[in-house]
Structure 1
């Protein structure tokens, strides 16, 4: 089946943290093997299984793409990207044999997608797969009403942003970023949103996680690490109890002060903060929230810094869990005079067009042939395919059942 309108037209159409994690794997664990699994957390309006043929064709096209010299020059111009990684990407091509799409026999309306192979050659699939599934799904509905509704809602967001920006000054400015690649309505709509915000709200929008759009619109590419990076260290040879410290130590070794925002919820914030001692507090610029009550999380993080006699005003909190503008404004009002804040807003920017978005993820489930887990601070956001390993992990980190 030939694709007439490819969803992914450039390998740079991906989130920055996929490249930063990939570089770390190339340098420190190039032999790692990995397995990723797709999951849809809500019930789609039409069965995803009916989209299998088109998704397969889109993946065929995806695996024909290569990085252009212009794209590599842009990536290589980021000061934390190393020249040997660019040399690797010059030869890189996604391999179709590492990804399989099927329909489960016991769940005929669902879609199973698994990626399995060398981690270095598999980890880029995640964002592309999610963007493909989303766009193929939304192409099943009339586009004109959705686009028109999206324009109305985007205009309302701009009006609200301008009104908010005219309010009283706080100790730290309000800034937000586009984090919308993985669950966008479409590639074209995502670009329209980013281009509009970059033009109309430039003082507030400080960047995008999408590297292609950052390049195209002169924005700062935003991103550090995702759950898969820390999860992988559950299988990288250290004691399980030490995996978070090991992951953070390797990150510091790789980036030497760049990309200093640490993700806190792979095994829950409480367990993370027990490992995030004075050493790491001084080495990292701040923390990212991605599950659980963000106000409770922020207060815990502030208390942790105070306990270690570190001024939180020198740090940054990045909030990225299902945010919309009003949620970001509320968090800003709560924390802005005590710590620098940034807000990664995804689906409510890139897929607010009237149709219910798909709640889809693609997570690392095995590494080096061993199970790995994400526990999270929110019920339903965790993921692990081995109950025995999950129970052991909970016991090691003293995590209560949710």
Structure 2
């Protein structure tokens, strides 16, 4: 096991680059990228870093030259032979050759495109622009770099023994969470913590702790590199990016209204089983389900990623029942800002009423709250989103208005088209 504190104390970034592999990314990115590569390869997109926690002034904490070094290093990465073999030959979700030969040939030759970086009012404006399949692969590594560089900026002021105590406390904190989860009969938990992790080494340690502590209750990780290293399941389906871009490309209100279902129709052609998981909240869960085509009721399950998670699950259960489906045979994946208390609460409420699973993210891989002065390592909300497609702005509404993004006039138009009424604002922690 790596001595993380000593590694941090003796740190030299050329030994420990923040992103060390093109598969140090989330599995859903690769699945979505293959779909985009097949269906929309020439769409021109722009992605942008968005720091929702504006009190964290990243440009004051992180040296621009060092940030550029890390980003430039990522552009030198290529798939190794072992990584390519793992992707080409491994079984994912019970399916061999998940990734098509033409996609793999493209991915093996991929170099991430150039970036644009500027400072403005204590924040970094980091953007990526170009063809959708290439640009979308920047999202996860860009977030990982910014999150870990913020951690390193705090840690570099600490002495060797201070670091040893810090990581000992963080390990104890995580292990206590694992011990609480072990008491839940039938619980299923996956690591979803790549995007806003404390560091790669820490995420890897967290996964090792989950493997030992939870056994079969730990069902895998979203991180492809860590899944390969530990021979565990790579977990992930699709994300808001797909409907956001397709909606931006819509020519009429009716095309806009149908865009989320067009995404899933494409997905339906490519995948089956546990990969058929709806993510309905991009433009409001209730409206999505009210107007969903009948064939979606036959899908395996649903992922709940914003709003009140219990309300979202109840809505899904009622919808399945109204469509003649048995909710106990459906999968509900909770994935929004989870920590142990919420996992225990939701497990108690829904175990037996549906198959349930938890995608545990930032508060698994980056919970250093209360461990340093001024809470300087507390996690914060940083995202990297598609902000335009073929020159048109993208919009995301979600089930929490505090997560909405896009120009104000377009947000109002989307609310009208998708029939989104009053929403309850919920604080965004991560």
Partner residue in 2 for 1:400? 421
Partner residue in 1 for 2:150? 137
* Cα distance in 1, alignment partners of residues 168 and 227 from structure 2: 25
Whether 1:361 and 2:383 are equivalent positions in the alignment is: yes
> Does the 8 Å contact 1:48/1:137 carry over to 2?
no
* Cα distance in 2, alignment partners of residues 294 and 381 from structure 1: 15
* Cα distance in 2, alignment partners of residues 46 and 149 from structure 1: 26
Deviation at 1:243, TM superposition (A): 0.5
Partner residue in 2 for 1:69? 81
Deviation at 1:162, TM superposition (A): 2.6
Cα offsets for 1:280-301 (capped at 9, x unmatched): 111x210000000011111111
> Does the 8 Å contact 2:302/2:333 carry over to 1?
yes
Whether 1:319 and 2:334 are equivalent positions in the alignment is: yes
Alignment of 1:16-31 (within 5 A): 16-31=27-42
* Cα distance in 1, alignment partners of residues 139 and 258 from structure 2: 26
Deviation at 1:389, TM superposition (A): 2.0
* Cα distance in 2, alignment partners of residues 102 and 292 from structure 1: 33
* Cα distance in 2, alignment partners of residues 144 and 129 from structure 1: 28
Alignment of 1:1-400 (within 5 A): 3-4=13-14, 5-44=16-55, 47-51=58-62, 52-76=64-88, 77=90, 78=92, 79=96, 80-95=98-113, 97=114, 99-104=115-120, 107=121, 109-142=122-155, 143-165=163-185, 173-237=186-250, 239-257=255-273, 259-282=275-298, 284-353=299-368, 354=371, 355-384=377-406, 386-400=407-421
* Cα distance in 1, alignment partners of residues 227 and 38 from structure 2: 25
Cα offsets for 1:64-87 (capped at 9, x unmatched): 000011101111124322122111
Cα offsets for 1:290-347 (capped at 9, x unmatched): 0000111111111101111111111100000000122111111111111000000011
Q: 1:383 to 1:139 in 2, by over 3 A?
A: same
1:100 counterpart SS class:
strand
Deviation at 1:268, TM superposition (A): 0.9
2:311 counterpart SS class:
helix
1:352 counterpart SS class:
coil
* Cα distance in 2, alignment partners of residues 293 and 49 from structure 1: 35
Q: 1:367 to 1:333 in 2, by over 3 A?
A: same
| TM-score normalised to structure 2 length | 0.86
1:20 counterpart SS class:
helix
> Does the 8 Å contact 2:179/2:213 carry over to 1?
no
Cα offsets for 1:232-291 (capped at 9, x unmatched): 111344611111111110111122456111111100111211232321111x21000000
* Cα distance in 1, alignment partners of residues 408 and 266 from structure 2: 28
* Cα distance in 2, alignment partners of residues 112 and 341 from structure 1: 38
Cα RMSD, aligned residues only: 1.7
* Cα distance in 1, alignment partners of residues 240 and 165 from structure 2: 36
Cα offsets for 1:29-51 (capped at 9, x unmatched): 11111111111112455543441
| TM-score normalised to structure 1 length | 0.92
Deviation at 1:199, TM superposition (A): 2.0
Partner residue in 2 for 1:168? none
* Cα distance in 2, alignment partners of residues 279 and 164 from structure 1: 34
> Does the 8 Å contact 1:179/1:210 carry over to 2?
yes
1:362 counterpart SS class:
strand
1:361 counterpart SS class:
strand
* Cα distance in 1, alignment partners of residues 230 and 13 from structure 2: 27
